[in-house]
Structure 1
Amino acid sequence: MRTETATRPAPFRPAILRAVPALGVGAALVALALTLTNDFHLYVAFMAGVYYLCASGMNVLAGYAGQKSLGQAGLFAAGAYTVALLTTRLEVSPVLALAAAPIVAAGVGVLIALPSLRVKGPSLALVTLAFGLVVEKLVTEWTDLFGGAQGVYGIAPLEFQGEPFALRHWVVLVIVLAVATHLLLGHLLNGRFGRALLALQSDEIAAECAGISVYRYKILAFVVAAALCGLGGALVAQQNQYFNSDFVTFHLSVFILLLVLLGGAGNLYGPIAGAAILTATEVFLAQWPSVQHFIYGSMLLFALYLMPTGVAGTIGRFLPRKAVAEPMARLAVAGAPPALSRTTDDPAGGPLLEMHGIGKAFGGVVTADKVGLRLHAHRVHALIGPNGAGKSTLINILTGVIPADSGSIRLAGEDITRASPHSRAAGGIARTFQNLRLFGAMTVLDNVLVGAHARIGATGREAEAVAKAAAVLEFVGLAEHAQALAGSLPYGLQRRVELARALAGDPVLLLLDEPAAGLNPRETAELGQLIKRIGRLGVAVLMVEHDMGLVMGISDEIVVLDRGVVIAEGTPRDIQTNPRVIEAYLGREEAPADGEADGKEEERAC
């Protein structure tokens, strides 16, 4: 198919312009640090920078990916003891030791992530808490290696012109690292990576079916959080030239989480606000150490219940909303949207998708019994049947959400029977859900961009992705709602957003699970025309639907499922007159005994 895209803007200059404010603030802070002579003020500035590094990593994990961790103290210790042992035991260069610290911490983060990803919510917090306690116990008791409470002395610091770093040098270094971290995370979190994390936090099943490897992205979030926390620990150890088990406490893990929650989880500027406020609070409370835990606990409750978006989020509500970089009208293109450009024609004229002998049972309930399907490009197929026939189960099997017990599935000749949902999405299978699974806190445009996740690719250009998403929104009639929150739209428009998200994945096979559920007659009619247009673009459509008017009006072929068995296939006219279909929907006609006729008629009316 012919596709068009908007002219690509040069990405380099806008990236430089976006970095100017952060670079300017960083330069001003460096200039200020070089003028300070009070060591106490310099040390406070240094610790604020370290806290920012730890909080920015935790923000990726907890704020974006939604994975709450209470084991960051263990990762802080991993970085600190890496530089301590490398420089004291192996006499490794301080620069190389500092570079190795976040790498080692990241590796430890992967080890935490592997078991932690099997749980979520409070259970995840408990798993990471256990890790933190194990590390605290380990470094306390293993005195031969870690020194216990006595600690490790003589950690080699960085040097400048042959002399150990002065405190102001450490402050300058941490400012440089903080600005670099902010710019790097800003680039990642405002694009494909950040959308993927927010999507999996909102709905893991929908994210997986949109082409996001939930498992991989959770691990990446753990790695980023671990690396930055380990870097913070390494800086503290080298600056002090000493580190012991007193640094590795549960209090530190709670403090790092509080930095994010108070500053604003899921907000790029949240860690900055959190680090500034809590560093000042820590300095103020230093004269009353007995009340520190009480104050921090109160601040945590305040952040959770009275300021859920944190300081940065609360301030952001009063600021003017950032304008869209380019009007949607300029980004949209005429004709078929670029996201529907995948070639679906089979040169051999065979089916696009083939299912053979698919079986699935939940305990003693069989929902699919040797089901076979053949779906063709350019056609709208309907899958109908009574309630409980196994239609949604079949959709879930096709998308990989539920594994089949037996049988095989081939897409364009390739066996995908054991493929994961995200790899099937990348291969061209997209879907909507019976019950809406939108990312309600994200904009309509971002929902559609999530749908295009697998097609954008890791090196995809954001401007081109936005242009394609805009074209899809134009195609489904949602261009004017691009910047609205998806969860704020009327129900009928939310259904279209979910459809647009599926189309953005450039599908060859589109699975619609009761797309007209909850729509009024006008919306249903408009949906029918839209589905027919999608079919004409070359996409194979399989629709599960109870609205027989819609099914008979737009379907090229209909498959009837009853109790997990295909009982009929054919055109709408064939299905309407098929006796087995009539029996499945209305029941077998039997002559009622005397006195039972009224009861039978009442049951039929129901």
Structure 2
Amino acid sequence: MNSEIKHYGWLALVAALVATIPLMTSNDFYLRIVFLIGVNYIAASGLNVLVNYTGQKSLGHAGLFAVGAYAVALLTTRWGWNPWAAFAMAGVLAGLFGVVIALPALRVKGPALAMVTIGFGIVVEKVVSEWQDVFAGQQGIYGVVPLKLGDQMFASSHWVWFVLALCVVLHVMFRHLLAGRFGRAFMAVNTAEVAAESVGVSVYKFKVLAFVISAFTCGIAGALITQQNQYINSDFITFNLSVFFLLVVLFGGNSVYGPLLGAVVLTLLDSLLSRWPGVQHFTYGALLLFALYAMPNGLAGTLRSLARKYAPGLLATPQLPQDLPAWQLKSAAPLASTGAEGLLDGRGIYKAYGGVVPTNEVDICIKPGHVHSLIGPNGAGKTTLLNILSGIVVPERGSIQFAGQSIVGVSPNRIARMGLGRTFQNLRLFSDMTVLDNVKVGLHAHIQAGFFASLIGVGKARRAELAARDEALQILDRLHLRDKALHTAGSLPYGLQRRLELARALATHPRLLLLDEPAAGLNPQETQELIQVIARIRDLGITVLLIEHHMDLVMAVSDHVIVLDYGQKIAEGTPQQVQSNPRVIAAYLGSDDESEDEAMNGGKHA
């Protein structure tokens, strides 16, 4: 709470100082620069969510700026709209165009995504240049109605104060949003999409949402420029504008303060170099390369690193509650009566990749309250089967019932919300987030805070966030990670990272927990601790399906063992039954009798 008070105190002080600028000078050039800093911050604040938090690079936001600019121009000059209503509508229309871009663009990734957004920007630029009857091309649209106070049009000082107010509101709202449930989901999508899906975060939904947010703020920025100038033409809408917005975000850095730092530095630099367009464009390119390679965390990240090294007292350390009650699993709804024998029942599951068949007509039944182990030699198809059960891979045929519902073709995030959690063979932590925030991402589906409530950050959203913090600490305490809560996940030793991934999976409140080689890379002591952890998980009422090569662990924790070989189930039963099964000995452990081995192989592949 003290850090919150300190933050708002500094915010009020900075806002008050900026608000006095129009009182100290009437120079339109200086006031114009302050206005442009605010406009560029507004455009970059939303783009920051898309680029730095969600990891989606866009080079077409000049097109979204154009949507807002031309919307307010056409609405006020041709259809006689009230300038305030037109201003609001400009943001809404730009947001809708954000959806239009996002839906096709997000089917591709990386450089291909950037190319799609470039294409959108070029199309918009050509439309406003060539469609003279509507957009008037380079001649432009004159007489755009500016914002007014009563019958008085905004003067330069009013524009500064209005943009300042918008910047303060947006900063507060984005600070709440990005510090909570939505911010963590954006960062999870950026870091590890498959892991985000596995804890109930819809990757596609959050990418689209990030596009809409960035489009809305760019549209607002376009409307502000147009109404302040009372004019817009196609020369405003260039590829260089998209590059400038992206540069502000990348140069500012991955922080809620990044867009502000980038907007201040680059707007001032842009004003200084405006007389030399060639030098200006060269500088943009040089700074973009510098931001990408020499300063990957941007100006905000560099300042944060310096503060951590030389003035750690400036960085707020959250105060965490002590003596919380022990964590308990939420009670699950009773299973639907469908005739299925277990919590999860799969029949005839088949998946092929060309001539390779990692899952060949596998039947599997997972009974509630048991620890099931899935074993087999390398390449037997174990991880493929887990990926099918968790929705990451869709089988070509077969049925899978989980908790009485079919989950074939259901998205991984929906399956996770139904109560199926998992860990991964290769660690998929959100490595740049804290240990505490990793577990909070696991709680994502259980935090009852909507988008607009999270923007405001008080009331229900505030209570939900505090409850999530407390529950995440309870889970960490269960796995003896409480003292690491504020450490960065990627800085933990490997064994603790394994345990953290398990804590994140537990946070989803699973009915069934899939563990893919949880002992991989652990030393003997850590393996013994894992045996105890799995036993405690079962005691909580969670059913476990475990893939593991460590036979001592399998035999110690399992109630039921399933053996795969070449994608087929060759045996199942108690650990003792499987351990003495001749087919398992031949296929998994090997056989000393060569003729017996040949006989086993012949029977196996018949």
Amino acid of the structure 2 residue aligned with 1:450: V
- SS in structure 1 of the partner of residue 172 of structure 2: helix
Q: Deviations over 1:263-288 (max 9, x none)?
A: 11x21101111111011111111233
* Identity over aligned pairs, percent: 53
Contact 1:345–1:377 (8 Å) recurs in 2: no
Q: For residue 293 of structure 1, what is the aligned residue in structure 2?
A: 281
- Equivalent positions of 1:116-515 (< 5 A) are 116-264=105-253, 266-319=254-307, 320=312, 322-327=315-320, 330=322, 333-335=324-326, 337-338=327-328, 340-343=329-332, 351-459=342-450, 461-515=464-518
CA drift at 1:586? 4.2
- For 1:369 and 1:465, how far apart are their aligned partners in 2? 42
- For 1:148 and 1:528, how far apart are their aligned partners in 2? 71
Contact 2:60–2:119 (8 Å) recurs in 1: yes
CA drift at 1:592? 6.3
- For 1:323 and 1:80, how far apart are their aligned partners in 2? 40
Amino acid of the structure 1 residue aligned with 2:176: H
Contact 2:336–2:404 (8 Å) recurs in 1: no
**1:568 and 2:571 equivalent?**
yes
Amino acid of the structure 1 residue aligned with 2:137: G
- For 1:74 and 1:494, how far apart are their aligned partners in 2? 43
Amino acid of the structure 1 residue aligned with 2:104: P
Amino acid of the structure 2 residue aligned with 1:326: Q
- For 2:280 and 2:86, how far apart are their aligned partners in 1? 33
Q: 1:210 to 1:347 in 2, by over 3 A?
A: closer
- SS in structure 2 of the partner of residue 287 of structure 1: coil
Q: For residue 535 of structure 1, what is the aligned residue in structure 2?
A: 538
- For 1:577 and 1:141, how far apart are their aligned partners in 2? 79
CA drift at 1:25? 2.5
- SS in structure 1 of the partner of residue 351 of structure 2: strand
- For 1:135 and 1:500, how far apart are their aligned partners in 2? 47
Q: For residue 522 of structure 1, what is the aligned residue in structure 2?
A: 525
Amino acid of the structure 1 residue aligned with 2:380: A
Contact 2:441–2:504 (8 Å) recurs in 1: yes
Match of 1:582 among 585, 590, 595: 585
Q: Deviations over 1:501-527 (max 9, x none)?
A: 101111111000000011111111100
Q: Deviations over 1:109-153 (max 9, x none)?
A: 111111110111111111111111111111111111000000111
- For 2:29 and 2:61, how far apart are their aligned partners in 1? 26
Q: CA RMSD in A?
A: 2.1
- For 1:186 and 1:52, how far apart are their aligned partners in 2? 14
CA drift at 1:587? 4.9
Contact 1:344–1:508 (8 Å) recurs in 2: no
Q: For residue 557 of structure 2, what is the aligned residue in structure 1?
A: 554
CA drift at 1:414? 1.7
Contact 1:19–1:183 (8 Å) recurs in 2: no
- SS in structure 2 of the partner of residue 318 of structure 1: helix
CA drift at 1:15? 6.8
List alignment gaps of at least 5 residues for structure 2.
451-460, 599-606
Q: 1:345 to 1:149 in 2, by over 3 A?
A: closer
CA drift at 1:405? 1.1
Q: 1:18 to 1:508 in 2, by over 3 A?
A: farther
Contact 1:575–1:581 (8 Å) recurs in 2: yes
- Equivalent positions of 1:43-54 (< 5 A) are 43-54=32-43
Return the TM-score normalized by structure 1.
0.92
Contact 1:342–1:507 (8 Å) recurs in 2: no
CA drift at 1:32? 2.7
